Amino acid sequence: MDNKNQHKQPSATGVTLLKKMTEKSDGSLSNAIGHRALSHYSVPAKSLQIDTVVQLARGKNVVLLAGTGFVSEKNAAGFVAINLTKLTFNPAEATKIRHGEYSFVYLSPEIFLNSKLFSSIYFSAEFQSRLALVVVDEAHLIYHWGMVKSTRGKKKTSALGLHQDRGLFRPLYGNLHTNLLARNGAPILLLSATCPPKPLRAIQRNLRMDSANLVTLRGELTRPEIRIIRVFMKGSMALFADLADLYLPISGTPNMKIVPSLIYCNNQRRTGQALEVLANARGTPNDSSKARSLFARRYHSVTGEQDKQDVERDFGEGVFPVITCTMALGLGQNWTRVRSVVHMGRGDPSAICQMIGRCGRDGKPGLAILFVEKTRTNGKNSISQFKAGVDQSDDDCMDALAVTPVCLHIAFAADNL
């Protein structure tokens, strides 16, 4: 059968490819995409990137499971993009978006769901006729937000409830699918560096994605440049005393010599508690209350907007080396100076994998330290408690990460199979 007759031009969306492109075989189309990418970005495209674009050009919905480095900079290629925030989104920019003056529009779930101004654009015939592709980054959070909505956040000690500020979620975000379904036939690209089969199936159902029109592409999810160390906590999780072992007094190691690090805590209160432990370990107990500390500062969803900007700017510029934070810090950040990530307590493997991925972004070695409790109340605390052939719950996966004798790189990779 002639290969070109197998590929029909998707017609629902108002944006279409040239007929001569869609009639190409997959091999010819891949070559054309590779040449076009090289001319735009001046570096060769990865084979997985090309495969993704081929499937999208065929009108397929795509789930791309890959680590960092698979998304290229748009502005550097000459495309016009805008990042919509509460400060930048106004009627003037809305008009530009409606008229197609931006090739890429970035926005948060908050604006996507709650902004009446954006809704007036998104659901307009003019915008829908220009819509070529919908991309959801950190797509695994659709599952998490949906679970938070269904349980109303009651499972505070479960894997899904342990990480406060995870993606700055609101139960309302479980309704993302209602807007994502309205895209005039444009394909959707779901990106994630960690999405096990169970959440993936749930997301597929949530977005009403037909298996016949869905392609899942898997890239390299492990980060071999990052060394992962698991440490069983000697003290109580409530005290965070184990953090004191990480840093010498300031008299022996000045702030400028401290490895740039993110210390993830499972709730907002403990970010301040971690600061106190660290300040005492450094021999500077008053430092924990200083908003402009040159050693460590805190960051969570309730931190003031100006303070958030100051922390992001000063850490990025090397003013101070350590942030104690919740998962409010991370999405949208791409700091290359982070050399170490510390996580306190047991947690959802997919969330921890995301945290770990925030160090070594420049390709140089990074270090991840996971402090875990030896026992969790009502949890599984030994290998013998896990039965072969039995489907694991999210809580089981959390406990398994704390006790497994397997290399943690392999454990994280297996969690996504």
Domain ranges of the chain: 1-221, 226-415
* Rounded CA separation 46/67 (Å): 13
* Residue 270 and residue 295 in contact, taking contact as beta carbons nearer than 8 Å: no
**DSSP label of 232:** E
Residues with Cβ within 8 Å of 373's Cβ and at least 6 positions away in sequence, in order, are 232, 233, 237, 345, 346, 402
pLDDT of residue 152: 47
pLDDT at 166: 56
Residues 6+ apart with CB under 8 A from 111: 84, 85, 86, 89, 118
Q: Identify the residue whose tokens are 């993302």.
A: 176
What is the residue whose two structure tokens read 């960092």? 68
Question: pTM of the predicted model, to two decimals?
Answer: 0.76
Q: Furthest-apart CA pair in the chain: how many Å?
A: 76
Instruction: Return the pLDDT at 49.
Output: 92
Chosen CATH of 226-415 out of 1.10.357.10, 3.90.1170.50, 3.40.50.300, 2.60.120.510: 3.40.50.300
Neighbouring CB atoms inside 10 A of 125's CB total 9
Mean pLDDT split into 10-residue runs, the chain, 417 residues: 47 62 87 90 88 93 78 63 86 94 89 91 92 88 65 50 54 74 90 83 87 90 89 89 95 96 93 96 96 96 89 95 90 83 88 88 92 90 90 84 92 79
Could you count the other beta carbons within 10 Å of the beta carbon of residue 209?
18
* pLDDT of amino acid 1: 42
Residue 140 C-alpha from the chain's centroid: 8
Amino acid code (one letter) for 292: R
The per-residue pLDDT for 219 is 83
- pLDDT of res. 69: 52
Q: What CATH class is the domain 1-221?
A: alpha beta
1-221 and 226-415: identical CATH topology: yes
Q: Kindly state the DSSP code that residue 260 receives in the 8-state scheme.
A: P
